[in-house]
Amino acid sequence: MQSARLLIDGAWISGEGAALDVRDKFTGHVIGTVAGASEAQVHAAVAAARRSFLAHPLDGQRRYQLLARTAALLEARRDEFAALITAEGGLPITDATNEVVRTAQTILVSAEEGKRLVGEVVPIESAPGQSHRMAYTIRVPRGVVCGISSFNSPLNMVVHKVAPALASGNTVVMKPPDAAPLSATRFFELLLEAGFPPGHLNLVHGPGATLGPWLVANPDIAFFTFTGSTGVGQWLHAHVGLRPVALELGSIAATIVCEDADLDRAAVRSAASGFRRAGQMCTSTQRLFVHDAVLEPFTEKLLTAVRALKVGDPRDPKTDVGPMISEAEAARAEVWVREAVSAGARLLAGGRRDGSVFHPTVLAGVDATQKVVCEEIFAPVLSLIPFSDLDAAIDAANATRFGLAVGLFTNDLSRALRATRRLHFGVVHLNESSSSRVDLIPFSGVKQSGLGREGPKYAMQEMTEERLVTISLS
């Protein structure tokens, strides 16, 4: 049994709020507890971060050294962290191991980008009457960065908030997901072991609906970085005032397969995108648009790829699709699929639930008004949608309130590049599925999928202020 305690000003302490159980997502057994923070403890964490920001600034080289040391400590504990992620997050052990490897890279990229965080020379001397002056900009850390993350990537998503914040000279107050807080807590232990000033690192636990308002009400938080639902993101944006935020929100991701695409590649990539991590990624392909001319052969290739997926115990190295985050979420997905089938959709694969495990599901003949395609399902459910005209398919892909990521498979370069202009998404992948994220890329959505950017270099620009400096030489 593990305990996720609070970290405030370098001290691990018990929460004064209600404790929550952390369950193994496959067995349902309690594997740990979360100590909920009180309002006073939340404000104490912010105060500690603010004090440390003012009293213990770290230069760029020192920040690099500490982050590099953290990455090395994490790599040395790869198996430990992978097992923890599998237990609390339900990720198959191969995915969990990959997450640890990716997380170490996220830390190292942040460390390197911290050495390249610069402004620019401004040609003020070229303005009339200003030949005696020079100007340039510098990047200055904002202060206390508050990170709030989701369960579907319980370690790497936390690090995407924490590592860029530290690399750019800020201090941190982090609230990890209630459903999967253990790996984040263990990671903060590594940060302390690496040698960061204790007050730079603060970790609070508790229900978002309770802690969120306390965090937002605290004026000493200078920047919020949030990953979660669009509804919560909208609330956060409405209540932080003029303080900047980065929001990674909901999505109904699409992938488009044209008639000239490499169907074998598209089928395998689409199956992985729809069902990896049990479909619980904001970029998971939910709507799969396929040209009429190749619909039949592509569907067979897709179903072959789906049948090859091993479903079940995430601790089995051969498992591709493990449990969802809870049995309740799996039951919700099951209801949505049944509603679609009752309304005329055809079930081509899956549709079966074993506790928290929902088997990879492929639907055809869906209606645009059904939940499985017009709301974010966040489950291993993929709907095939035929099209005969690419422009119409692009219009249909765009026809949601979301716009995070999209994939397009075609061998026509001109068509592909024209489509990138029309697809209203923050990320467009050509000859890849919608869920082809690499940690160092700029990652952001449009419309109700969020604002601001992730990816270490780009997050660090969000987490710093650009300050103009002028010098008179006369």
Active site residues: 248, 282
Measured at the CA of 20, the angle between CA 15 and CA 22, to 5 degrees, comes to 120
- For the chain, what is the radius of gyration of the CA atoms? 23
Name the DSSP letter for residue 198: G
Are 348 and 364 a contacting pair, CB within 8 Å? Answer: yes
Sign (positive or negative) of CA dihedral 330, 333, 339, 344:
negative
Residue 220 · residue 47 · CB < 8 Å:
yes
CA–CA gap between residue 162 and residue 191 (Å, rounded)? 10
DSSP-H helix ranges across 399-452: 413-422
Structure tokens at 201: 């690192």
d(CA 374, CA 348): 19
By three-state DSSP, how is residue 405 classified?
A: strand
Maximum Cα–Cα distance for the chain, whole Å? 80
What is the Cα 337 distance to its own chain's centre? Answer: 25
Please report where in the chains the tokens 């200003």 appear, as a residue.
Answer: 130
User: What DSSP state is assigned to residue 454?
Assistant: B
CB of 376 closer than 8 Å to CB of 250: yes
Contact 257, 263 (CB under 8 A): yes
Token pair 């799969």 is found at: 288
Q: Which residues contact 410 (CB under 8 A, 6 or more apart)?
A: 258, 260, 261, 416, 419, 430, 431
Best CA proximity match to 357, nearest among 275, 250, 287, 270: 275
How many whole angstroms from its chain centre is CA 2?
25
What whole-number distance in Å separates Cα of residue 463 and Cα of residue 443? 15
Angle, helices 60-76/156-167, rounded to nearest 10 degrees? 160
**E strands, 262-369, where?**
287-291, 346-349, 353-354, 357-358, 361-364
| CA–CA dist 144, 159 (Å, integer) | 16
Angle 60-76/78-89 helices, nearest 10 degrees? 80
Residue 246 to residues 39, 148, 241, Cα–Cα distance (Å): 24, 11, 14
Q: In angstroms, rounded to a whole number, what is the distance separating the alpha carbons of residues 333 and 326? A: 11
